Amino acid sequence: MIPSSALISLALLSSPVFADGITVSSYTASALASSPEVRSAQDAYEAADAALKGQAAAMALPTLGFSYVQYPYGHNPLDAYRYERGAFAPRLGQAVTTANWNLFNGFQDLQRVRVAALARRAARFALAAARQDRAFAAISAYYDLNAKTELLAVARKNLEDQRRQYEQSLDLYKHGMKSLADLLKSETDWRSSELRIISAEAERKRSMVAFNVLLDRGALEEAPLTVDLQAGATALPLVDAGFAAALDGRPEVSKAREELESARVAVQQAVKGILPDLKVDAAWTRTRYPAFAGAGSSIPNPNHNIGVSLSLPVGFNGFTQGWAISAARAEKRRAEASRAAAERTVKSEVYNAYIDLERVSSSYSVALQKEEIAAKALELVGRQYQQGAADAIRMNQAQNDYLNARVERVLALHDIFIDRARYKRAVGEPLW
């Protein structure tokens, strides 16, 4: 388990990489190191770990006790109630040292250790879930920013093309080869491209804010990304095998199972609370008596013994213990329902993530073909427009088709990487 200090060190080590460009792996590592959710889950795990160790020590180790008493004023019980007026010295008091070791208490300590162990395991799974959640958020923010950056570049290229188109229309209009309507249409398309730039810049700023917030950087601080987007051939996973792996590997499901086991132990403890307590204790006591004449006792000093006791639970009245059993059983049923709900959620997430990955993998290949076709069509209509064989409406349609094809290709490519991460997260594969 990575301690909090190691996560902070990881962030410090990751920062210099940003000077040469931020990769998705370095960004994810730094986002995890900066995440308050991960730190909170890490602290919760460390607290549960310490609680388990403390409970194990309480079960296995003896306890020591020391007391010292003297009476410098008034009737002194240590000196046959003789009246004292300010007598105070270390040897005039009585010191008692005791050692106790519980050998058996009806398995109560063992069950407490079991509960603490289950709580630590649940905290470990909660930490893993927090890391998965924040890692996926970082991956999504990273590719979203890169996609918005590319879309802004596409919009700028479109604006440049529309401006050139307007200048060409103006020249053709001056030479009587285009109508005023064509000229006005070209100018309208140019202004529409300017509006598109404004929207694209705003969307990129939003992505920049989401990107920087995960690192506690300035909200609009620029981030040089180093991205290698090669979609390659996406081999679709076996979804049934992925679902089976998710039931074993998803931290949310494992956490729900640990909580159910804790509820079962709680039922056992509640049932035990209605039964008599059997305890076996070993004790050792040594007393240093005060320096008074006749002080002391006929009791062996030091003395030791092993005691066996059988008693009803503290506060026993039958009804309290009975309702405690009912409450524990209800909590167990709640934990069972929670585990079933977690497994349902995992099944839905695995299959939906698979469907999304399958869709975007097919969409990307089509988007590539569509972009290529739209580029050829734009080139053809552009030549016809120059020759007066095509009007501004056809030219605008061809430009919009090419623009939309480029946007769809950019989004599909980035969605492949995001949906791959989503599927890995769904089946429980670590993303960090």
pLDDT of residue 37: 94
Strand-pair partners of 282: 101, 306
* pLDDT of amino acid 17: 45
Q: What is the pLDDT of residues 327-343, one digit of tens each?
A: 999 999 999 999 999 99
Torsion of CA 73, 75, 79, 84, to 10 degrees: 40
User: Average pLDDT for residues 261-284, to the nearest whole number?
Assistant: 88
- Which residues make Cβ contacts (< 8 Å) with residue 84, sequence separation at least 6? 71, 72, 73, 74, 75, 76
Work out the percent of the chain whose per-residue pLDDT is above 90. 47
* Inter-residue contact 85 to 73 (CB < 8 Å): yes
CA dihedral 254, 259, 261, 263 (to 10 degrees): -170
Tell me the per-residue pLDDT of 243-260, one tens digit each, with 9 for 90 and over.
Answer: 888 888 888 898 898 889
Lookup: tokens for 362: 């097919």
The distance of Cα 400 from the centroid of its chain, to the nearest Å, equals 42
DSSP code of 432? Answer: -
pTM over 0.95: no
DSSP classification of residue 81:
T
Q: For the residues 268-279, what does the mean pLDDT come to? A: 85
From the list 246, 254, 250, 260, the residue with the least C-alpha distance to 337 is 260
Distances (CA, A) of 350 to 135, 241, 347, 398: 17, 10, 5, 40
The encoded tokens of residue 327 equal: 């409450």
The answer to whether 429 touches 176, Cβ cutoff 8 Å, is no
Q: What is the mean pLDDT of the chain?
A: 87
The secondary element (H helix, E strand) that includes residue 284 is: strand 277-288
